[in-house]
Structure 1
Amino acid sequence: MPMTSVWEVMKLNLPVPVEKAFKQLESCGFCGYLVGGCVRDYLLATPPTDFDMTTDATPAEIIACFAGCRVVETGIRHGTVTVVIEEMAIEITTHRIEGEYSDSRHPDAVTFTRNLADDLARRDFTINAMAYHPQKGLIDLYGGAADLKKKIIRGVGDPHQRMAEDALRMLRGLRFGAVLGFALEAETGTAIRQNCGQLRHISAERIATELNKLICGKNAKAIILEETAVLGVVIPELLPAKNFDQMNPHHCYDVLTHTAVAMETLAPVPRLRWAMLFHDLGKPQTFTRDDAGVGHFKGHSKVSEAMARQRLTDLRISKNTVDQVCLLVKYHDTLIEADKTSVKRWLNRLTEPLFRDLIAIKRGDNLAQAPEYHGRLASLERLAALLDQVIAEKACFALKDLAVNGNDLIGLGIENGAEIGRILKQLLEGVIEEAYQNKKDILIEKAKEMHRC
């Protein structure tokens, strides 16, 4: 599709609030431009989710211009205000020039300018350094549109300077490569690898935000395998896994390649991708060889789980996500019998969503092993079918599903809390084992027997 037709489509499909923002700025004597990710997304025929603008108006002039709208001073020190038009939040930032970056993250000083070219020159990558105006069209001073066509990530101007200024740009570059399926331009890749040590100066929260997107990218496997040294600065557990020969007939890949291949089988959900990323990282620490020279990794799940908990906690990932990831890592190689009782036990242990995740992890793990050992897939399919059956039957597998509760036992004169808990747990065990039905009258009688014992 010719570039002009892309922009004709873009012009026709600008959201009404964005059109109003353009017109409002013009009515006040200023000029605004869409900039950054939304421009890139339009060129890629991907509907933008966020709309950022840059303008020759100062922050005070922007606020005055949009006096009739809700305006939030989100980053007023750096020239950014958020204008809410018809419930759409649009970030509008004054054109700016940035000074030195002494902390490898933030400019020491920001100078506002009326010149759009000055603003575009400070941006990270060419594909993010394009601007658009409905009448003026695409402003592309650094060949961003061409780089989109070539599917490369290239720094604006001198990539070494760009990366040295703001270390987070290095992870952003890898993230764009993973999400878009693009390759790093040679000099930009070199700049990232040479400066990656500066990532240690970046806050854990910002690193986690980039990594969550990176590991869910369609090209995550290639980035993990090609840029292990860079990622190893923020996830050092990856480094020993690189080229680690498993020396086991079940495996046709080294540990890290197996990990990356397995990740690619999963839905792009952070907890799934994190679990698969860490599931085997404990193998280098637990590696042993038997008399025949075959490699073994006894206890690697426990070591991998501990690694995942420590690293994800350090990255300030939410505790709920960390706990879920660690459960998946812990049980990823545990044998699960394909029968209904076993399914109910695992549902009680994990909940339905997490048990489905575990099956997906096991399936991906097996798919990334040597083809002749893919026999577990049929068993996993049976397990998934049984899970569907148990859920469809509304089978009891949790205390909340029991036909009796603590109040019922209190009604029987059982007042000790620990005793009530013990009996309820024992009743649930019997129902899961199908020793008796989940009916109130039956469970009441069983509870009486258990209490007398």
Structure 2
Amino acid sequence: MPKYVLEILKTLAAGGHEAWCVGGCIRDSLLGRIPEDWDVTTDALPEETLALFPGRAVPTGLRHGTVTVRLPGSNPVEVTTYRVDGAYHDHRRPESVSFTRSLEEDLKRRDFTVNAMALGLDGTLRDPFGGQMDLRRGILRCVGDPDRRFQEDALRILRGLRFAAVLGFSIDPATADGLHRSRALLEEIASERIWAELQKLLCGKAAAAILREYPDVLGVFWPEVLPMVGFDQRNRHHCFDVWEHTLRALEAVEPEMVLRCTMLLHDIGKPSCFTMDAEGNGHFYGHPAVSRDLADGMLRRLKCGNADRETVLRLVEWHDRNIPRTDRGLRRALRALGEEDLRRLLAVKRADNLAQAVEFRGMQKEINLAEDMMNRLLEEKACVSLGQLAVNGRDLTELGYAGPAVGQILNRLLDAVVEGVAPNNREALLQYIQKMETSK
């Protein structure tokens, strides 16, 4: 427990109050993880907490009993009065709260047993609902009735999946049934909240396992996912249906949000592109472009940031595109994508191939070859961007060019260098400009 948290507990105790660290910080500490933040619960009323920390506490949620305390040089700590929640009419926050003097009553209103433990100043652990045992068993279980917990706050549905994915926990059968039954309540939750939870879920070590069990939950806000489930590809390259292929590809990339999101969406357009030839073989002509368009709408719906959205869309669109294992082919790809996204694309291609039938996973050698060639080109400082050109806008201005023509000619010069038509040499490029002019 950090010193500043100990100081807050000691100050509340010296004022005659109970005080406990509570929630995720206790869960993470018991798991041997470093908590991101610390929360405190107390029987002190908000005004009593404010009085104990003059100049160091601000009322940030008086309606719900929360005061934020920041000691010198420390992180802020939310100190909340023990409370009992009133009715939840919007499936997100209680209409009212009433303060109580009972720690157990406060813990009883929390979402999952692993988040309903409290640690005191003397090291006493209060765990009335078996959270510590659930941690040891690797189980996520609601406090009390799952249906009631999810009716109170529908975001708990997605938080539950996120916790299970990140911690690698299984979900208690009664809680799992409640998740499925209550999933439609997610329609009441703001898209930004859903996106925040989904990003963490996708990067969890058990993300694929959780998505495999709960596609119906994902389908509430992304119904485009549902046609993939059980869709037989009828293609010798694929021994899995579209959804299972997607999940295996997802777990084959690093737990980085853009990569995981790309793998989740890279084949989202396959069901709508399906055709079958005379021999009964399935084909998905044009599915990368369809997947890109569907993914665009899905990510916009959840208010995904523009930069991440555009990167995911680019990778989805390129995931099935052949990149020739030649210097020119790699220069073209670097010109179009840049180093970071080309490395991501190779990771996407590698994962996509690993999720195919075993006998068709030979593309791994070709992907490795492309990566080796790319690394060599980068070490040689091959010209693949405007900033690397041996001429610049000033050179063209001195030749009399102005306005949009400057950018157009620079791009044509870069294309010539990338294609191997002209060397990246100032004199050679200036001569190339002259040839361009005489050929008009």
Band of TM-score, shorter chain: over 0.9
| Superposed structure 1 runs of 4+ greater than 4 Å apart | none
**Distance apart, 1:57 and its partner CA:** 1.6
Encode CA deviations 1:194-237: one digit per residue, 9 max, x unaligned.
11111100100111111111111111111111111122112211
Residue of 306, 312, 321 corresponding to 2:308: 321
Deviates more, 1:338-347 or 1:375-384: 338-347
1:423–1:450 contact (8 Å) kept in structure 2 = no
Matched, 1:400 2:387: yes
Matched, 1:444 2:436: no
Distance 1:92 1:439 in 2: 65
1:84-103 equivalence runs, <5 A: 84-85=70-71, 86-103=73-90
1:95-134 equivalence runs, <5 A: 95-134=82-121
**Distance apart, 1:16 and its partner CA:** 1.6
- Could you tell me which residue of structure 2 aligns to residue 247 of structure 1? 234
The SS at the match of 1:342 is helix
Distance 1:391 1:448 in 2: 29
For 1:449, the aligned partner's letter is K
Distance 2:66 2:379 in 1: 52
**Distance apart, 1:442 and its partner CA:** 2.5
- Could you tell me which residue of structure 1 aligns to residue 421 of structure 2? 435
1:100–1:107 contact (8 Å) kept in structure 2 = yes
1:177–1:223 contact (8 Å) kept in structure 2 = yes
How many residue pairs match? The answer is 438
Residue of 324, 332, 338 corresponding to 2:319: 332
**Distance apart, 1:31 and its partner CA:** 2.5
Residue of 219, 228, 232 corresponding to 1:232: 219
2:335–2:418 contact (8 Å) kept in structure 1 = no
Distance 1:307 1:367 in 2: 24
- Could you tell me which residue of structure 2 aligns to residue 82 of structure 1? 68
For 1:357, the aligned partner's letter is R
For 1:289, the aligned partner's letter is M
Residue of 282, 285, 294 corresponding to 1:307: 294
The SS at the match of 1:351 is helix
Gaps of 5+ in 2: none
The SS at the match of 2:70 is strand
Distance 2:254 2:78 in 1: 31
Encode CA deviations 1:41-78: one digit per residue, 9 max, x unaligned.
11111111211111112222222222243x34333322
1:140-179 equivalence runs, <5 A: 140-179=127-166
2:10–2:121 contact (8 Å) kept in structure 1 = no
RMSD: 1.4
**Distance apart, 1:329 and its partner CA:** 0.5
Taking every aligned residue pair, what percent have the same amino acid on both sides? 45
For 2:88, the aligned partner's letter is Y
2:88–2:152 contact (8 Å) kept in structure 1 = yes
1:423–1:451 contact (8 Å) kept in structure 2 = no
- Could you tell me which residue of structure 2 aligns to residue 272 of structure 1? 259
- Could you tell me which residue of structure 2 aligns to residue 9 of structure 1? none
- Could you tell me which residue of structure 2 aligns to residue 284 of structure 1? 271
Q: TM-score, normalised by structure 2?
A: 0.97
Distance 2:220 2:408 in 1: 48
Distance 2:46 2:389 in 1: 61
**Distance apart, 1:452 and its partner CA:** 4.1
- Could you tell me which residue of structure 2 aligns to residue 379 of structure 1? 366
The SS at the match of 1:123 is coil
For 1:138, the aligned partner's letter is L
Distance 2:433 2:82 in 1: 73
- Could you tell me which residue of structure 1 aligns to residue 409 of structure 2? 423
Matched, 1:356 2:347: no
